[in-house]
Structure 1
Amino acid sequence: MTGDAAERDAAKRDALPGHAVTGAAVAGEAGTARDRTRAGRADGGEPNGTDAVTAQAGPAGRGRAGFRRLVRAELTKFLTVRGWTLAPAAALVTVLVGLLGTAAPGGADDGGFPRGPGGQAVNDAFFFVHRTLDGDGSITAQVGPLTGLTDPGPGGQAVPGVQPWAKAGIIVKAGPGRGSGYAAVMLTGAHGVRMQDDYTHDTAGPALAGDARRLRLVRTGEDITGYASGDGVHWTTLGTAHLPGLPRTVRAGLFVASPQAATDTGAGTGYAPAVATAEFGRPELVGGWQGNGWQGGQAGGDAGTSGSYSDTLRGGFTESAGRITVTGAGDIAPVVGGPPMGPAHTVENFLVGSFAGLLVLVVLGAVSVTAEYRRGLIRTTLAAHPGRGRVLAAKAAVLGTAAATAGLAGAALAVPLGRWRSHAAHFRDLPVTTATELRATAGTALLFALAALLALAAGVVLRRGAPAVTAVVAALVLPYLLATSGILPAGPAQWLLRLTPAAGFAIQQTVPRYPQVDGAYTPEFGYFPLPPWAGLAVLAGYTLAAGVLATVLLRRRDV
């Protein structure tokens, strides 16, 4: 009777609504959990029922919760060993080395470089023959061929020759201050007719043969349109420059400028003051021009990239029978660094300490995993969390965050402190836009993170700290040293910075290359052949490839 009663009670329970379905579902879930546990042991997944238990919460919840636990475990491990102090040490080293290498007493402080309308460092020095324009109007002038002279120094005789980017033309200037906006059309020494505005914008014009070249600027409100003609009848529109905030009353007229000349000193390339001369036909003026005569003077204080005028080369202008001959030096263009710039520092100089900080983080990235291999702790780690790929991802998350934080803190301190020390030592620094400085600072954080993760992957692949650090230094640091030290010719050096992980250093570059400015565009002077984000992408690609290899080997090899 007792057994019959038990069977009847069980039948009643099974007959309750939904009870049979629930029971089957629970049984099915239990079976599925056991299967998942077995599968997890086979393919490196979570064992000990972890997947079986979390499976009932759904795949998304299981993945997020499990990975968060792994990250917390790795963070705890990271903070309970002395090696974590290498992260703040990297930030400190970045700042200290940057300060030590930024400046030395005895610099050349001439008030610094002016800022252009975009916030970048510019040269704004040329000989200006001008009048006042009130409101809208135009100026047209015929421009004869350029001639030039270079002064080789004391006791030497001036050498004839025109610099490739010597300029002679007509210009509308927003104001007398250095770095104020402008628009100009010009004839250059070797690059034909151009229209340029606000220092960084350059547009090539048509090829105009003969000596009858005519240039024209037309002002309409804040817009300046440039034209060129070979015969004064058929005109080509070069472009229109918009100058926000252009005042109603401006100065406009004729100008001539000539950058320094590169010379062979026997011990390398030197730079000597140079001037250019051009003859202009009688300017044709339309609109609200004021005054009856032309005034001339050196704009920008001195000759800019040509330095102070020598005794034999001076700017000036003369008028004869309506024609005006102008001689001038200097340049109106962005500053690109290199030897002609003279003593000055860039943001890249302030971040030079990041090179040392990077080495510290490479050591941290490698030993963060090789120490576990050496002490046998990796077995304990993988026994507690056998999902090997997820364990490596958790390690990468902790290490990458620590490295990025160190890079961000170091760069954020190194730049303003380096600028302060530079000024205290009477060195000029090249101003850049706020966006450019923020990109270099944040980019340093990403550079540090990627380098540390590359070292982590190398540690997993090689399992020993010294070989892992050596491999990363050889791949990341050695190409940078070879490229920027001047040991290699410019061509091979640029290819190293295109094809190796050292391309990532391009993220710190703040002074771009301008095609309308002659300069020493080589890695030796801090120029990278790839744009900043493209260079960082090359490093990211190497780091990703190394991470994939490390994940595959970690899953397949015994520990």
Structure 2
Amino acid sequence: MTATVNHFRPDHLARLLRAEWTKFRTVRAWVIAMTAGALVIVLLGLSYASGSHTSCGNGPIEVVCPAVPVGPGGEAVEDKFYFVHRTLSGDGGITARATSMTGQIRKPDVTTGVRNVVPGVVPWAKAGVMVKQSTKQGSAYAALMVTGAHGVRMQHDFTHDVAGRPGGVSEDSPRWLRLTRSGDTLTGYESTDGTNWAKVGTARLPGLPATVEIGLFATSPGDLTVTRGDLGGSVSAVRFTEATAVFDRVGLEGETSGGAWHDDDIGVSKEPDGSSHHPGRSSESGGTFSVTGVGDIAPSIDGQTIERTLTGVLTGLLVVIVVAVMFVTAEYRRGLIRTTLIAIPRRGRMLVAKALTIGTVAFVAGLAATAITLTFGTQILRANGDHVLPVSRLTEVRVVVGTAALLAVAAVLALALGALFRRSVAGVIAAIVLIVVPHVLATTSVLPDSAARWLLRLTPAAGFAIQQSIPEYAHVLGHYAPIAGFYPLPPWAGFAVLSGYAALALGLAVVRLRRRDA
């Protein structure tokens, strides 16, 4: 007896793909629906952008909001602090002993009209020594600091953070800080006694000019509180804080400007009459400096993100799900599946060809829709005065291509569910329950943040993480929750979860198809 072995040939798959594409394009309703899904993404996204307007008040007059500072890496930043400084030419450094760190935090008012201000410092209040390219917001810098609850840190250029020793600062437990410059390299050291020094970190600031600003600083970001909402979700609020640090034993090395120290309240907000809103301050007596600051030196996560223009993707996904399910269940409903299987004995290949066809159609439609929406949506937002957080070109490409891939893989998952249930209604409901419902529950004020995060780790809705353009920064206090646009998994990890579900469902559908025709 001679055994017959069926070898896979690429031309077989090409014929299968051509046949499935012919099936798809000859059903006008499917083509129209997929086109409508892409149009929905565009129209809803541009409608959202057109309806969003931002302006700032200057007394009774609304004016365009000032531009947000941009750091050396092109990211939006907060660069607001009080700086007591001198000019340093060439190499040199600064040494100071921090002996205390105190502050004030405004809490929710207990009595109407009476401000509830309590003593204390927030975890990421910062004070220490700094070398900065200039006093211009967003310019390059390196700083060695004590913090409210994160010990000694060395940070530079807003996004970089290195931890030193933990613990706070007091008169009984002071912290010595030293920051030295050698060319474009800054090195930070800390000590508990001023004699034995431990290196904290090194920062390289390419292009640092010969003349820089060197000195003492203090700043304090807002106090973030997250409470349960009326519907079960979370509500965040940020309130005013300030931090005051006391330094002594201040010493400078290198060629510095003589005379008095210069004081600058970097980035201070202005009232309509030109006065400073919540200004910082400093004082000096007998070589002891007290510096009080408000604000933060960190990446900014406040503003419109590019993925906000893609609000129509969820609606477009519903259309994709319906079309993908019907692409396979229509053959069962019309009794054509047996004819198809007679023509294509290799049943698994037939289902794979269907998956590749519907996935490709969804990807192409999604790619066109998201590229158009993001490009013109962000332009409209900026024209309306909205600040759109800048991201790299690579991140923009990842959001556009990733969203198209999200639609494609979701289409494959929906098709697989349709093949498993072999009923349009059951397949559509299953896909919506698996993909859409978890995302809606997690990103609206329904579930606690912890439950929302688990939903977006364990369900196919994790794939929406591919759209997140602004990362979570460990050294920036923020409401990093799904309702605020932050996902618990990195973009490609979340997409991998969705892909895993699609692969599993498609595998199960192939197994069932091999066992039973209808």
What's the offset of the Cα at 1:112? Answer: 4.0
3-state SS in 2 of match to 1:262: strand
CA contact (8 A) 2:134 2:212 kept: yes
Partner residue of 1:321 out of 286, 290, 315: 286
What's the offset of the Cα at 1:76? Answer: 1.7
What's the offset of the Cα at 1:309? Answer: 5.8
User: Structure 2 vs 1, CA of residues 300 and 477 (structure 1 numbering), >3 Å: closer, same or farther?
Assistant: same
The match for 2:98 is: 143
Cα deviation 1:201-222 (Å, max 9, x = unaligned): 1111114663431101111111
AA paired with 1:546? A
CA contact (8 A) 2:130 2:143 kept: yes
Cα deviation 1:160-191 (Å, max 9, x = unaligned): 22111111011111233322221110011111
What is the rounded CA distance, in whole Å, between the counterparts of 2:226 and 2:429 in structure 1? 41
Partner residue of 1:504 out of 444, 459, 463: 463
**Equivalent pairs, count:** 493
Higher helix share: 1
3-state SS in 1 of match to 2:260: strand
The match for 2:474 is: 515
What is the rounded CA distance, in whole Å, between the counterparts of 2:408 and 2:509 in structure 1? 17
3-state SS in 2 of match to 1:555: helix
3-state SS in 1 of match to 2:269: coil
What is the rounded CA distance, in whole Å, between the counterparts of 2:195 and 2:50 in structure 1? 57
What is the rounded CA distance, in whole Å, between the counterparts of 1:266 and 1:501 in structure 2? 26
Describe how 1:43-442 pairs up with structure 2 within 5 A. Answer: 59=7, 63-82=9-28, 83-102=30-49, 104=51, 106-108=53-55, 109-151=64-106, 155-156=114-115, 158-207=117-166, 210-262=172-224, 269-302=236-269, 310=277, 313-336=278-301, 341=302, 344-442=303-401
What is the rounded CA distance, in whole Å, between the counterparts of 2:37 and 2:250 in structure 1? 62
What's the offset of the Cα at 1:402? Answer: 1.1
What's the offset of the Cα at 1:105? Answer: 5.1
* 78-87 or 478-487, which deviates more: 78-87
User: Structure 2 vs 1, CA of residues 263 and 358 (structure 1 numbering), >3 Å: closer, same or farther?
Assistant: closer
3-state SS in 2 of match to 1:345: coil
CA contact (8 A) 1:112 1:429 kept: no
What's the offset of the Cα at 1:157? Answer: 5.3
AA paired with 2:72? P
TM-score by length of 1: 0.84
AA paired with 2:246? E
AA paired with 1:290? S
What's the offset of the Cα at 1:244? Answer: 1.6
CA contact (8 A) 1:206 1:236 kept: no
Compare CA radii of gyration and give the structure with the larger one: 1
What's the offset of the Cα at 1:424? Answer: 2.7
TM-score by length of 2: 0.90
What is the rounded CA distance, in whole Å, between the counterparts of 1:85 and 1:117 in structure 2? 47
Cα deviation 1:88-107 (Å, max 9, x = unaligned): 32222112112223463542
What is the rounded CA distance, in whole Å, between the counterparts of 1:508 and 1:186 in structure 2? 34
User: Structure 2 vs 1, CA of residues 463 and 257 (structure 1 numbering), >3 Å: closer, same or farther?
Assistant: same
What is the rounded CA distance, in whole Å, between the counterparts of 1:165 and 1:156 in structure 2? 23
What is the rounded CA distance, in whole Å, between the counterparts of 1:178 and 1:552 in structure 2? 61
What is the rounded CA distance, in whole Å, between the counterparts of 2:434 and 2:35 in structure 1? 24
3-state SS in 2 of match to 1:196: strand
User: Structure 2 vs 1, CA of residues 291 and 191 (structure 1 numbering), >3 Å: closer, same or farther?
Assistant: same
AA paired with 2:298? A
What is the rounded CA distance, in whole Å, between the counterparts of 1:488 and 1:263 in structure 2? 17
CA contact (8 A) 1:282 1:324 kept: no
Identity of matched residues, %: 49
3-state SS in 1 of match to 2:100: coil
What's the offset of the Cα at 1:282? Answer: 4.4
3-state SS in 1 of match to 2:158: coil
Describe how 1:518-529 pairs up with structure 2 within 5 A. Answer: 518-529=477-488
AA paired with 2:193? D
AA paired with 1:80? T
What's the offset of the Cα at 1:269? Answer: 4.5
Cα deviation 1:279-332 (Å, max 9, x = unaligned): 1114211112223221111213439xxxx964xx43111121122211110000
What's the offset of the Cα at 1:407? Answer: 1.9
Partner residue of 1:490 out of 449, 461, 468: 449
What is the rounded CA distance, in whole Å, between the counterparts of 1:254 and 1:103 in structure 2? 44
CA contact (8 A) 1:302 1:330 kept: no
What's the offset of the Cα at 1:252? Answer: 1.7
AA paired with 1:120? E
The match for 1:18 is: none
AA paired with 1:134? S
AA paired with 2:9? G
What is the rounded CA distance, in whole Å, between the counterparts of 1:249 and 1:66 in structure 2? 70
What's the offset of the Cα at 1:384? Answer: 2.1
* 5+ long unaligned stretches in structure 1: 1-30, 40-50, 52-58
What's the offset of the Cα at 1:500? Answer: 0.7
What's the offset of the Cα at 1:150? Answer: 2.9
* 5+ long unaligned stretches in structure 2: 56-63, 230-234
What's the offset of the Cα at 1:266? Answer: 10
What is the rounded CA distance, in whole Å, between the counterparts of 1:265 and 1:491 in structure 2? 13
AA paired with 2:188? G
What is the rounded CA distance, in whole Å, between the counterparts of 1:300 and 1:524 in structure 2? 29
* 380-389 or 464-473, which deviates more: 380-389
User: Structure 2 vs 1, CA of residues 519 and 377 (structure 1 numbering), >3 Å: closer, same or farther?
Assistant: same
Higher strand share: 2
What's the offset of the Cα at 1:130? Answer: 1.4
What is the rounded CA distance, in whole Å, between the counterparts of 2:153 and 2:242 in structure 1? 19
| CA RMSD, Structure 1 to Structure 2 (Å) | 2.2
What is the rounded CA distance, in whole Å, between the counterparts of 1:67 and 1:224 in structure 2? 59
Cα deviation 1:359-389 (Å, max 9, x = unaligned): 1111111111111221223233222222211
What's the offset of the Cα at 1:272? Answer: 2.0
CA contact (8 A) 2:224 2:477 kept: no
Cα deviation 1:32-80 (Å, max 9, x = unaligned): 6xx63xx8xxxxxxxxxxx6xxxxxxx4xx6111111111111122111
AA paired with 2:422? R
AA paired with 2:51? A
